Amino acid sequence: MKLSSFSDYSLRVLIYLGLQPDRLATVGEITAAFDLSRGHLMKVVHQLGKAGYLETVRGKGGGIRLGRTPEDIVLGQVIRHTEGRIELVECFSGESHCRIQPACRLRAILAEALGAMFRVLDAYTLADLLRQPESLESIIGLSAAVPLVPEGRAG
């Protein structure tokens, strides 16, 4: 199973903002830091904002920041939100045309595996991803490239 790029980008946005809790960031900064498509990132930010994971400040000097503390952002919940309904195989949907479905145990086994994955993800929060901020900041160029701006004053 592979997570969608939407989920991947969502986690990257949350990590980026979690590394800088005292300032507003811009979509442009995040696009540059991760070399991502601005259009895709705008959709991600919009959805994360609607779900309450982000707070957006419009207008000149605006930007985005986390809408919750890193400890309150559960990875399993984020992935459920960004992935929507996960159908590992055709029989997960209501419109399966698989001939062996009435006798096959694969669906139950895969459902159990998916449940196990989410139990693990539910045990971790964004705070767990931010435990070694220096390494992350260095890799995406935050240490020297992005000055901290006091909250409420983005420049």
Q: What are 66's strand-pairing partners? A: 54
Total residues found in the chain within this entry: 155
DSSP-based three-state secondary structure for 35: coil
- pLDDT over 90 at 140, yes or no: no
Domains delineated in the chain: 5-145 (1.10.10.10)
Instruction: Dump pLDDT digits (tens) for 48-65.
Output: 999 999 999 988 888 999
Average pLDDT along the chain: 87
Confidence bin at 86 (pLDDT 50/70/90): confident
Q: What does the pLDDT read at residue 28?
A: 93
Paired tokens of 152:
């409420």
Confidence bin at 147 (pLDDT 50/70/90): very low
Paired tokens of 61:
């000097």
